[in-house]
Structure 1
Amino acid sequence: MKKIIIMPMLLASFIVFSQEKIVTKSATITLEASVPSFQPVAGTNSNVTFVLNPATGEVASLALMKGFEFEMALMEEHFNENYMETNKYPKAIFRGQIEGFDIKNLTEDYKDYTIKGKLEVHGKSKDISADAKITRSGSRVTLISDFEINASDFNIPIPALIKYKLDNKVKIQIIAVLK
């Protein structure tokens, strides 16, 4: 009898807990490491998982590195095999906190926030701080963040032969629409 009562209570607690977070599996990350006067080096991944806990402002994101698409197939191949070594390091993970976040203060106008956390790419972790713009329309929360990282901070090799075509500073933009 106790098992019959405990099981529904456990299931109900999991449902309540899971409703705390809002999630999307279609956030978009765009990265760009172009140098002026050369072919643009930019890739986009539109299958990124992004999670927000609206009660605490905690965020987490997971991107599969093979999900990045480039204008040229050769760039994509070099990205996966030579630079990101996606067979060895298949994903990028970010875990962080939106400073001063309170979902009740969000409106349809974008508000500026700072997100601080740890980014793990290519087997290395680094603390980062990124500016973000966040808005809320009904049950939908939209987050846009632009920041830069140095490829060298994550031991991402850029061969000397093409250093002049590829910038060490990688510009990253994430757009997440959460429901």
Structure 2
Amino acid sequence: MKKTIILLTIVLTSGLTQAQFIKQKSINAQIGYGLSAPYNSVDQVVNNGFFIQGEFVLKITSWVELKPYAGFISTNSDGKDLNDNPTDEKAETKAFLLGGKARLRAPIPWVAPYAEIGIGTSIGKFETITAFDNIDKSGIIYHIPFSFGLELGKNHNIDLGFAYYFQPTVQQYVGALSLGITFPLN
């Protein structure tokens, strides 16, 4: 699985950059409020933190983009659940994120809704402690990114969205409410 993810990342970041079906290239830089939560939890636990990501945007048509990405997320538990009750449950992550996504976008002027899905890898430290799971893992795991949001502006160069990275190996997901700016390269 690790070799497949590495191979996919290399293919997405190298071979497609010179392909004739790429209409435009740009860089998208995102920053946001990070979060993590366990899949199975008795208490309602969401840990907060920091998220940053860069994407190489390969525009195929006005409604399809391919996006190799690299990012970082760090979340920590404050020892409380969503109702401010003390809890021992937590889902903490400190990881680099690498992978590729495809974005489908409605090409509407000024406000374009979008959804993304892909596959990638998380490299770092992961801890999930619930009544059902006790996972403390370091290393490389796979994740499934899913995002949705809005591209704003005349040239759709402002990105406001929610990004989620489902990590089945460690029974948690990480995500972010993020704000991004796109810089064209052409």
Same fold (TM over 0.5): yes
Report the RMSD for the aligned CA atoms in angstroms: 3.5
Of structures 1 and 2, the larger Rg is shown by: 1
Going from structure 1 to structure 2, the CA distance change for 1:54 and 1:134 (only over 3 Å counts) comes to: farther
More strand by share: 2
Match of 2:47 in 1: 43
Match of 2:178 in 1: 176
Output the amino acid matched with 2:177.
I
Quick check: 2:52–2:73 contact (8 Å CA) kept in 1? yes
> Where in structure 2 are the equivalents of 1:61-140 lying within 5 Å?
61-65=71-75, 68=76, 70=78, 72=80, 91-99=94-102, 101=103, 105=107, 108-122=111-125, 123-138=138-153, 139-140=157-158
More helix by share: 1
Match of 1:157 in 2: none
Quick check: 2:122–2:141 contact (8 Å CA) kept in 1? yes
CA distance in 1, matches of 2:72, 2:78: 19
Q: TM-score, normalised by structure 2?
A: 0.53
> Where in structure 2 are the equivalents of 1:154-173 lying within 5 Å?
154=170, 169-173=171-175
Q: How many residues align?
A: 129
What runs of 5+ residues in structure 2 fail to find an aligned partner? 1-24, 59-65, 126-137, 182-186
Match of 1:32 in 2: 37
**Percent of residue pairs identical:** 5
Q: TM-score, normalised by structure 1?
A: 0.55
Output the amino acid matched with 2:152.
S
